[in-house]
Amino acid sequence: MKRWWSLVGKEWRGSWTVILLALAATIGFDTWLAIKAPVWSARINGGLAFGLSFIPFVGMGIAALVVGYYTMRNEWRDRTSLQLLSYPVSGAGILWAKLLVAVLGLGLITVVATVGTWFVTQRSSIPYSTIMSATEDILRLTPWERTLDIIWMVVCSILGTAFIVAVGLFSFTIGTIVPRISGLIAVIVYGLTWYLTFAFAPHAMYAFSFVPNPGLIVYTGLGPMAARKVIPLLPFWPTIMGTVILILIAGKILELEVDA
């Protein structure tokens, strides 16, 4: 375990310049928006700054899609893959370490971006209290239901990010099987994996509907006859299983053969 944490430390040390850059960009952007927000609220639209403050989140989404691939590719580009796999660690262990650091890094930037958005909202003409009461009026959530929903959304983003990163890690690793066209194979596998994910997500959700699943609590309308539903943002168990399976398979492939 100590070795694994050392791997995590190495991943973190190798990534923190990129993370710092992204943090700086996010803080800079949100600060600029916060400065402009009152002006825009008065002249153009109250919701403009608020809307634009979601750009960092889009950036995070794109980053999540590619970080898995790139963190592996860097090992191959720098030939450090040889050193890494000569260590007494499992292939899966190496991938879990990369996954953890990627999720933590993205999570950190997301938190900062969220704070930034909140800040921007404060300075726009859409008061925070309006949004919050809207959830009560429109969604008719009690405070504890709202809290649960927020927790569930956070869990979903973490799980979802982990799965997205895992797909990237998996695709690159499969690509290494045929070194000459590794990039091509990686892209094909990447596309295929996502296709299969969406194709079989409903089946997976059905299969796991027989076990307890967390979900988002919503009310389907206003009035006393509104139904209370719990909808999953993400299929909880399938996502976890999918992530684990992708990492385990990729790990085994790393242990079999490493090129540089």
Partner 1 sequence: MPAIELTDVHKRYYRSHALRGVNLSVDRGKIVGLLGPNGSGKSTLLRICAGLASPTSGKVQVHGQDISIATKAITAYIPDIDSFYSWMTVRQAIAFESSMFDDFVLADAMDLVRELKLDPDNKISSLSKGQRGRLKLVLAMSRRAELVLMDEPLSGIDPPSRTAILETIADRYRAGEQTIIISTHEVLESEKLFEDVIFLSEGRIVLTGEADQLRAERGKSLNEIFAEVC
Q: Which residues of this chain interact with partner 1, rule CB under 8 A?
A: 2-3, 6, 10, 13-14, 78-83, 85-90, 178, 180, 255-258, 260
CB 81 → partner 1: shortest distance, Å? 8
C-beta separation of 192 from 184 below 8 A: no
C-beta separation of 71 from 94 below 8 A: no
Tokens of 96: 């879990």
Which amino acid makes up residue 258? V
C-beta separation of 81 from 75 below 8 A: yes
CB 253 → partner 1: shortest distance, Å? 11
Packing angle of the helix pair 55-77, 2-43 (nearest 10 deg): 150
Nearer to partner 1, 81 or 161 (CB): 81
CB 18 → partner 1: shortest distance, Å? 11
Nearer to partner 1, 2 or 43 (CB): 2
Nearer to partner 1, 88 or 223 (CB): 88
Nearer to partner 1, 85 or 159 (CB): 85
CB 245 → partner 1: shortest distance, Å? 21
CB 189 → partner 1: shortest distance, Å? 18
Question: Any idea which residue has 């296709």 for tokens?
Answer: 195
Nearer to partner 1, 90 or 114 (CB): 90
Nearer to partner 1, 121 or 176 (CB): 176
Please report which residue ranges of the chain form alpha helices under DSSP H: 2-43, 46-52, 55-77, 80-85, 91-122, 128-137, 143-175, 182-208, 236-256
CB 174 → partner 1: shortest distance, Å? 16
Q: Enumerate residues 6+ apart whose C-beta is below 8 A from 26.
A: 56, 59, 109, 112, 113, 116
β-strand partners of 47? none
